[in-house]
Structure 1
Amino acid sequence: MAAFLRFTKFIQKTFALWVVLFAGIALWIPEAFVWLKPYITWMLGIVMLGMGMTMTLDDFKGVLQSPKAVIIGVVAQFVVMPALAYALCKLFNLAPEIAIGVILVGCCPGGTASNVITYMAKGNTALSVACTSVSTLLAPLLTPAIFYLLASQWLEIDAGSMFISILQVVLVPIVLGLMIRALFKQKVEQYIQVMPLVSVIAIVAIVAAIIGASKASILQSGLMILGIVILHNGFGYLLGFWASRLFKLSYPDSKAVAIEVGMQNSGLGVALAAVHFAASPITAVPSAIFSLWHNISGPALATYWASKADKLEKDNK
């Protein structure tokens, strides 16, 4: 069991490598992964179920302990990223199907990977977990509403249908996970350690399925979408950090909020695009590339902040 847990940790630490590797394989041999596309929502549901099984009431105590920081983090999440996405779409005059995909990932809640990255960056991990939990629970209402507000000029949006999809893919699995943990606490503890590995496999499979299904579009527009994603993610970190400093949050809190804002639940963006915009596969590509990129930029930012914290600690001694 110890060897398996070491293997699980290794896979987690090298998550970005596996995403890049399988994205490359999917471009080379798309037919190996295209068949997974109908199962994307199920795979994301499994990831959310795992998230629910790892959550406890203590995770929500952070909301009561530092409500100001959580409110700033959640508001920044649902203001900064959608607004940045909209601005980038207008600035670069993106094609409607790509613009919709960029805005969709911008309207998603924070990703669970942000908690690990915040821990690596020596930020306030409890705050990160609280922000992720609250933004995820608010997603069924806020994601379709903000998406409709910003994207309906490009295409007719069925916000009600999207609300139902997010309930099914996000909220229901999380609630089930919480209930399973409450009812079978001792047994669940044994399986929780496996869930990070399951989540990595699921996200890698989701990204590979979308990359494989969108090969032609990616070869045509992939570099431009990557550029937009890099700007979106980078400015998300920057504006999240400075919004926190503006409201006088501590440095560890500011790091947590910056990472929370910059890292999206891109798997949800892929699933929503696959369900609601199936006729235009490229709509899911910004979310898939975001999943690829933020798992490279996040660890890089965490490494910088951690080394800075270590240097400061050494100087103080």
Structure 2
Amino acid sequence: MRVVRQVADVVGRWFAVLVLLGAVAGLLVPERTALITPHVALLLGVIMFCMGLTMRPRDFAVVAQHPRAVLLGVAAQFTVMPLLGWGIAHAFGLPPLLVVGMILVGAAPGGTASNVIVYLARGDVALSVAMTSVSTMLAPFLTPLIVLGLAGSTLPVSAGDLFLSILQVVLLPVVGGLLLRLFADRYVVALLPLMPLVSVTGIVLVVSGVVGANADAVLTTGLLLALAVILHNSLGLLLGYLVGYFGRLPDSARRAVSVEVGMQNSGLAASLATTHFEPVAALPGALFSVWHNLSGAAVATYWARHAPEDAPEREPA
């Protein structure tokens, strides 16, 4: 068990590099990695169950303690990123399926790695966890409506089917993990160090499968789409910080909002695109998974060297 925990620790530290290697594997052996695509929803469900295991009811207490910060951050998450995805996709003249893919990324809840990035960036970890939790719980209701509103005129969108998918692969696994943690905390705590290994493996497989299934599309539109994804993530980080700034939140909270807005659950976006559209629509989600972990690590490295103005007490990662 000690060796497994050491492996999990290494995997967690090299998350971004492993995701990048997964994308490269998808390009090098597409015929093999594409076989993963039918199992993307199952992999995401496992990842979300692991996320639920790391959550506790007290994570939602921040909503009552600092409702304005949480509501401001979640509102930015479900407005800034979807509109950016829609606007950038049209500005770059992307094909309809990629437009939908960009909107799906923007309409997804907070990313599973965002809490760690906020911790490393010396941000408000409690606020980050609360935003991830609340946005994940709201996703089954808001994500389908946002995608329908922004992409409904581009391609047929079934909000009801999207709702059921998010319910199955996000909400139910998260709630299941949360309940298991609540009633069997002693046993779950012993397994928590292994969660990075499971989650990172799942994300790497999802990225590898989606890239493999769309290897030709990556080679033909890869550069343009990559630029669109980088711009989407970068503006999300910037505008998220500005939302916190103009909302008069303390510096540590601004950092949390910035990361939460900029880092999306792109695995969910890839899963929904694969299930309800064509595989190529999952490509923005796969590329976003690669890039936002790299950019998140870079942002965390910069902020880690600059103490926030309010200098919050650091919490355990």
TM range (shorter): over 0.9
Deviation at 1:311, TM superposition (A): 11
Q: Is the 8 A contact 2:136 2:170 kept in 1?
A: yes
User: Shift of residue 192 of structure 1?
Assistant: 1.9
- 1:203/1:27 Cα in 2 relative to 1: closer, same or farther (>3 Å)? same
Per the TM alignment, residue 168 of structure 1 is displaced from its structure 2 partner at its CA by 0.3
| Cα drift, residue 189 of structure 1 | 1.5
1:145-156 paired onto structure 2 within 5 Å:
145-156=145-156
Q: Distance in 2 between matches of 1:11 and 1:312?
A: 32
The letter for the 1-side match of 2:232 is H
Q: What TM-score does the superposition give when structure 2 sets the normalisation length? A: 0.95
Report if aligned partners of 2:250, 2:309 keep a CA contact under 8 Å in 1. no
Partner residue in 1 for 2:210: 210
310 and 61 in structure 1: CA distance in 2 versus 1, 3 angstrom threshold? closer
- C-alpha deviation, 1:312, in angstroms: 11
Between the aligned partners of 1:66 and 1:100, the Cα distance in structure 2 is 34
Query: Which residues in structure 2 correspond to 1:71-220 (within 5 Å)?
Result: 71-220=71-220
Contact 2:121 2:304 in 1 (8 A): yes
Amino acid in structure 2 at the alignment position of 1:291? S
Cα displacement (A) at 1:7: 2.3
- Across the aligned residues of Structure 1 and Structure 2, the Cα RMSD in angstroms comes to 1.5
**Aligned residues of 1:218 and 1:282 also touching (Cα < 8 A):** no
Once the two structures are superposed, the pairs formed by residues 31-46 of structure 1 within 5 Å of their partners are 31-46=31-46
**Cα distance, 1:21 vs structure 2:** 1.1
Moved more, 31-40 or 124-133: 31-40
Contact 1:51 1:177 in 2 (8 A): yes
State which drifts further: 146-155 or 18-27: 18-27
Amino-acid identity (%): 47
Q: Equivalent residue for 1:284?
A: 282
Alpha-carbon contact 1:44-1:169 (below 8 Å) kept: yes
Change (3 A) 1:310 1:66: closer
Tell me what 1:228 maps to. 228
* Displacement after TM superposition at 1:299 (Å): 0.5
Q: 1:266-288: CA deviations, max 9, x gaps? A: 000011011001xx321100000
**Structure 1 length normalisation: TM-score?**
0.95
Shift of 1:3: 3.8
Distance in 2 separating the partners of 1:160 and 1:310: 43
- Determine the C-alpha separation between the residues in 2 that align with 1:196 and 1:264: 17
The 1-side partners of 2:308 and 2:153 are apart by 48
Partner of 1:308: 306
| Secondary structure in 2 matching 1:239 | helix
Give the whole-Å Cα distance in 2 for the aligned partners of 1:47 and 1:69: 27
- Per the alignment, residue 60 of structure 1 pairs with 60
Q: Is the 8 A contact 2:118 2:128 kept in 1?
A: yes
Counterpart residue identity of residue 75, structure 1: A
Query: Is 2:25–2:33's contact at 8 Å kept on the other side of the alignment?
Result: no
Give the distance between the partners of 1:225 and 1:144, measured in 2 at CA. Answer: 23
Per-residue CA distance 1:47-74 (angstroms, 9 max, x = gap): 1111111110111111111111100110
1:7 aligns to what? 7
Structure 2 residue matching 1:244: 3-state secondary structure: helix
Worse-matched range after superposition: 183-192 or 240-249: 183-192
- Map Cα deviations across residues 119-151 of structure 1 (whole Å, 9 max, x no partner): 000000110000000000000000000110000
In 1: Cα distance, 2:308 partner to 2:12 partner: 23
Q: Which residue of 1 aligns with 2:315?
A: none
Flag structure 1 segments of 5+ consecutive residues without an equivalent: none
Post-superposition shift, 1:36? 1.1
- The structural deviation recorded for 1:191 is 1.7
Q: What amino acid does structure 2 have at the position aligned with 1:86?
A: W
Deviates more, 1:55-64 or 1:73-82: 55-64
Measured after TM superposition, the shift of residue 92 of structure 1 is 1.8
Residues 214 and 283 in structure 2, CA contact (< 8 A), matched pair in contact too: yes
Does the C-alpha gap of structure 1 residues 192 and 312 become closer, same or farther in structure 2, counting only changes over 3 Å? Answer: closer
